[in-house]
Amino acid sequence: MSERLLVLVRHGQSEWNLKNLFTGWKDPDLTELGVKEAREAGRKLKAQGLVFDVAFTSVLTRAQHTLDLILGELGQQGLPTSKNLALNERDYGDLSGLNKDDARKKWGEEQVHVWRRSYDVPPPGGESLKDTLARALPYYVQEILPGVLNGKRTLVAAHGNSLRALIMVLEKLSPEGILKRELATGVPIIYRLNADSTVASKLDLAG
Ligand SMILES: O=C(O)[C@@H](CO)OP(=O)(O)O
């Protein structure tokens, strides 16, 4: 049976993660720690004996830089890679660039939590997770999943919320279930899929 391998990894810490700013479609690069996290992710995947046939990422620097660093650790620079806006972080609209603690003071903890983690409530001028899923899921189903089911060992380096959208589908999470799901920066999650595209196994390389 061919290995239906799909690895998801959120980018390493970005300059705006460090400054606690809503980022969305803004395009900061990785911090030094983010670079280290990305390299460590590559080392962990290499230690698992993994080799990839194809990679996917967003059009944002922090995800592309993370992917490059991971592939460097794997000795797989130049791996065929698709870069697409469909995998971009959720657009935080009017909140982009604002400090998250300042936002909590202005609008309250609960409202900010709803904007950050709920399924269908968008931040002002931005995308809800549902909106993000509406662009990420078709891309996953049409561009990523067919290769995985045909045995192409696949690596996806993207963002906290675009990956939460995919994980909601992969792990069949409800809107309540996805509410409390967080993705650490630079921590690969290794999925192996069944022939019917459901999850056979999941390994989170945290710690
Ligand atoms: O600001 C953002 O774009 C995201 C990811 O960094 O933040 P949050 O985790 O609050 O959705």
Q: What is the position in ligand 1's atom list of the atom closest to the CA of 14?
A: 6
If you average pLDDT over residues 81-109, what whole number do you get? 98
Helices 100-107 & 109-117 angle (0-180, nearest 10) = 120
> What's the pLDDT at 179?
84
Parse the chain into domains and list their residue ranges.
5-158+169-187
For the chain, percent of residues with pLDDT exceeding 70: 99
Whether 91 has a binding-site annotation, put simply, is: yes
Q: Tell me which residue has its CA closest to atom 8 in ligand 1.
A: 116
This complex has an ipTM of: 0.95
Q: Which residues line ligand 1 (CB under 6 A)?
A: 17, 22-24, 89, 92, 116, 160-161
Q: How far apart are CA 131 and CA 144, in angstroms?
A: 19
Average pLDDT of the residues of the chain: 96
Residue nearest to atom 2 of ligand 1 (CA): 23
Q: Look at residue 1 in the predicted model and tell me its pLDDT.
A: 54
Q: What is the pLDDT of residues 13-28, one digit of tens each?
A: 999 999 999 999 999 9
Atom of ligand 1 nearest to the CA of 92: 3
The CATH architecture that domain 5-158+169-187 belongs to is 3-Layer(aba) Sandwich (3.40)
For residue 28, what are the CA distances in angstroms to 3, 63, 196?
35, 10, 38
For residues 76 and 52, give the distance between their C-alpha atoms in angstroms, rounded to a whole number. Answer: 8
Contact indicator for 183, 164 with CB cutoff of 8 Å = yes
pTM metric for this prediction = 0.96
Per-residue pLDDT, 180: 86
